[in-house]
Amino acid sequence: MKISKRFANVGDSSTLKITALAKSMKNKGTDVAILAAGEPDFDTPNEIKESAIKAIKDGFTGYTPVRGVPELLELICEKFKNDNNIEYKNENIIVSTGAKQSIYNVLQALCDEESEVIILAPFWVSYLEMIKMTGATPVIVDTSLDNFKLNAKRIEEKITSRTRMIIINSPNNPTGVVYTEKELREFSDVVVKHGIYCISDEIYEKIIYSPHKHYSIASFNPQIKDLTFTVNGLSKTYAMTGWRIGFLGGEKRLVEKTLMVQTHSTSCTSSISQKAAIAALKTSPEVAGRMISEFGKRREFVIDYMKNVENVNFIEPMGAFYLFMDFRKIIDENKSRFENSESVCTKLLEEYNVAVIPGGAFGAEGWLRISYAASLDEIKKGLSRIHDFVKRYT
Ligand SMILES: Cc1ncc(COP(=O)(O)O)c(C=O)c1O
């Protein structure tokens, strides 16, 4: 087999792998509690589905402009203005097949083999692999030294003449941490000082718990705005993971180049999904709000439950729908049984029938991530099995 050098070191997505394995166990009749996927368990709201059905019936089924239909671009500009205090025009926007493609397009357009791209560990699994796919070198900053927060000084220490870009993600997957305005302003000053680009992945923007607030760095000043790609999408907020709608806003000339990647690889995202996206962005805030308040209740439950589980510390999520748990003590005390967080997850899945994601995949060995984007029953079942495991091995 001959594969490209760029792909030789690209790994799988352990999130998707474990979820697929857990689902296949479930299909075969095993009662698995799946707390693995980063996917809302809700159905897409009806008015959004109806608008897609109408698009099909109306024959809105051809190619659209690559960057997206004008009505959707205008709604995205409005969203950026109203929610994020960023002024973009249609020419600053690209709609893609998920936020994942938005991020990939930018990396492809802007990175060379000599480039370094800084990511903050723990990181969303795909950042690392996407950077490798461009041929660039990932440079990792360990945020565990700073309570998983954004430390501008520590990031600045990693900047070299080869640094092309930095990716940040708040609210964060997998930690649930939300960066404060002060942290983000200090960070953006460093980005501007060194003239590097930034991807701000804001996909969990709306899933945030009081008193925490979301800030978009592109709103701070014109300099950081021109260096930043603000990435967002509808997957998480509107339970639309399968519709594949993500988007970005950025400086016009950089966005033109980024658009070329999409033009020559996938063209527009689905015309039908774009109609659904228009409907989603027009829904009243209560539609997403209902789902978000449900995540809030589950979060309370998960935090209360885990506070009673001895020997496992965790980060109280400020946003998103994940709980990141520290299993280092258990792994340390059971070295002969568990080599790392992946072997803990394998044990949890195969013997305790609960699917969670190993922290190693996020660059945080010894930690485990659960997703509480699952029904309360599933969460209760899963947590009690994790508790049984912890009792057994401490
Ligand atoms: C941090 C982060 N960014 C981006 C995405 C991609 O979302 P999508 O491609 O579905 O829009 C995800 C999905 O899990 C994510 O967790």
Q: How far is the CA of 203 from the centre of ligand 1 (A)?
A: 6
Q: Among 97, 208, 236, which is best to mutate for testing ligand 1, by the most ligand atoms less than 8 A from CB?
A: 236
Structural domains for the chain = 5-43+286-392 (3.90.1150.10), 46-283 (3.40.640.10)
* Tokens at 29, concatenated: 């009749």
Give the model's pLDDT for residue 8: 81
The whole-angstrom separation of Cα 101 and Cα 88 is: 20
What share of the chain has pLDDT > 70, as a percent? Answer: 100
Provide the pLDDT for residue 338: 92
Q: For ligand 1, pick from 107, 178, 203, 229 the residue to mutate: most ligand atoms within 8 Å of CB.
A: 203
Q: How far apart are CA 312 and CA 326, in angstroms?
A: 6
- Position 178 scores a pLDDT of 98
| Ligand 1 centroid, distance to 125 Cα (angstroms) | 10
Give 112's pLDDT tier (boundaries 50, 70, 90).
Answer: very high
**Residue nearest to ligand 1 atom 7, measured at CA:** 99
CB 260, CB 175: distance < 8 Å: no
Q: Give 204 Cα–ligand 1 centroid separation in angstroms.
A: 8
Give the pLDDT confidence of 332-378 residue by residue, as tens digits. Answer: 999 899 999 999 999 999 999 999 999 998 999 999 999 999 999 99
169 lines ligand 1 (CB under 6 A): yes
* Residue 16 confidence (pLDDT) above 90: no
Q: Is the CB of 38 under 6 A from ligand 1?
A: yes
Q: Has residue 225 got a pLDDT over 90?
A: yes
What confidence tens digit (pLDDT) does each residue in 71-82 have? 999 999 999 999
- Residue range 184-211: mean pLDDT, rounded: 98
Q: Is residue 97 lining ligand 1, measured as CB closer than 6 Å? A: no
Q: How confident is the model at residue 167 (pLDDT cuts 50, 70, 90)?
A: very high
DSSP 208: B
Arithmetic mean of pLDDT over the chain: 95
Question: Strand locations in 175-255, DSSP E?
Answer: 197-201, 228-233, 246-249
pLDDT of residue 319: 98
> Residue 38: is its pLDDT beyond 90?
no
Distance from C-alpha of 45 to C-alpha of 349, rounded to nearest angstrom: 32
Type of residue numbered 65: P
Please provide residue 104's backbone torsions phi and psi, each rounded to the nearest 5 degrees: -60, -45
Q: What angle do CA 74, 80, 81 make, to 5 degrees?
A: 90
245 C-alpha to center of ligand 1: Å? Answer: 10
Task: Tell me the CA–centroid distance for residue 100 and ligand 1, in Å.
Answer: 6
Query: Mean pLDDT throughout 230-238?
Result: 97
pLDDT at residue 1, as a whole number: 84
pLDDT at site 7: 85
**Residue 391 CA, ligand 1 centroid: distance in Å:** 34
**305 C-alpha to ligand 1 centroid (Å):** 27
Q: Can you give the pLDDT at residue 266?
A: 97
Please say whether the dihedral angle defined by the alpha carbons of residues 332, 334, 339 and 341, taken in this order, is positive or negative: negative
Tokens standing for residue 280:
């989603």
**What pLDDT was estimated at residue 357?**
95
The distance of Cα 310 from the centroid of its chain, to the nearest Å, equals 29
Q: Which of 19, 119, 173 to mutate to test the pocket of ligand 1 (most atoms within 8 A of CB)?
A: 173
In Å, what is the CA distance from 305 to each residue of 183, 380, 384, 387? 30, 9, 9, 9
Of residues 39 and 254, the one with the higher pLDDT is 254
Residue whose entry in the numeric block shows the structure tokens 């791209």: 117
Is residue 231 within 6 Å of ligand 1 at its C-beta? no
Task: Quote the ligand 1 centre to 323 CA distance (angstroms).
Answer: 16
Answer whether 235 contacts ligand 1 (Cβ < 6 A). Answer: yes
Q: Tally Cβ neighbours within 10 Å of residue 150.
A: 22
pLDDT digits (tens, 9 = 90+) for 239-268: 999 999 999 999 999 999 999 999 999 999
**Closest ligand 1 atom number to CA of residue 201:** 3
Q: Is the CB of 100 under 6 A from ligand 1?
A: yes
* Mean pLDDT along residues 135-157: 96
Q: How much is the average pLDDT of 258-284?
A: 98
Token readout for 375 is: 């029904």
Query: In 184-198, which positions are buried (b, 16+ CB within 10 angstroms) versus exposed (e)?
Result: bbbbbbbbbeeebbb
pTM (predicted TM-score): 0.96
Looking at residue 181, the DSSP 8-state letter turns out to be: H
Alpha carbon distance 202, 231 (integer Å): 6
65 cis-preceded (ω within 30 degrees of 0): no
User: CA-based Rg of the chain, rounded to a whole angstrom?
Assistant: 21
The verdict on the CB of residue 203 being under 6 Å from ligand 1 is: yes
Reported as a pLDDT band with limits 50, 70 and 90, residue 17 is confident
Residue 75 DSSP class: H
Cis preceding linkage at 222, omega within 30 = no
- Does residue 194 carry a pLDDT above 90? yes
Please state the atom number of ligand 1 nearest to the C-alpha of residue 39.
Answer: 14
At 207, list the tokens: 């899933």
Dihedral sign from CA coordinates of 127, 216, 243, 18: positive
CA–centroid distance, 123 to ligand 1, in Å, is: 12
For ligand 1, what atom is nearest to the CA of residue 233? Answer: 11
Give the pLDDT band of residue 11 (cuts 50, 70, 90). Answer: confident
CA of 233 to the centre of ligand 1 (A): 8
**Ligand 1 touching residue 98 (CB < 6 A):** yes
pLDDT value for 377: 95
pLDDT at 53: 98
